[in-house]
């Protein structure tokens, strides 16, 4: 009985353990989608454009949204894709305040 339990456990663990793959290097990123930018809720908000995100299997689109301006930060750096020679592929640099 214990042996059957261990076999079932091993089979279920191996069936659900798919390893995510890095983005392909031959087709780095799809073209950005056109987005209609709604008016901001106030002067403290900046538009963060949408971007493609690699989820381990394919690119999915993350739509743009507004972010609140922080009074103690100098400027907003939008998220962007950047070539990483160390990994031989493009990597996503998330948006952040500087």
pLDDT in tens, 60-74: 899 999 988 877 777
- Note whether residue 6 is domain-resident: no
Instruction: Give the pLDDT band (50/70/90) at residue 10.
Output: very low
Total domains in the fold of the chain: 1
- Note whether residue 43 is domain-resident: yes
pTM for this model (two decimals): 0.55
User: How many other C-beta atoms lie within 10 A of the C-beta of residue 8?
Assistant: 10
Parent domain of 48: 28-97
For residues 37-53, average pLDDT: 87
- Note whether residue 11 is domain-resident: no
Beta bridge partners, 66, equal 47
* pLDDT at residue number 94: 82
* pLDDT at residue number 6: 42
């Amino acid at each position: 009985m214990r042996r059957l339990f261990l076999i079932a456990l091993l089979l279920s663990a191996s069936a659900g353990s798919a390893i995510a793959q890095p983005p392909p290097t031959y087709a780095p990123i799809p073209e950005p989608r056109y987005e209609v930018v709604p008016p901001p809720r106030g002067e403290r908000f900046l538009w963060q454009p949408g971007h493609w995100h690699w989820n381990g299997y394919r690119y999915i689109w993350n739509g743009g949204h507004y972010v609140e301006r922080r009074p103690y930060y100098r400027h907003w750096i939008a998220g962007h894709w950047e070539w990483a020679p160390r990994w031989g592929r493009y990597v996503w640099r998330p948006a952040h305040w500087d």
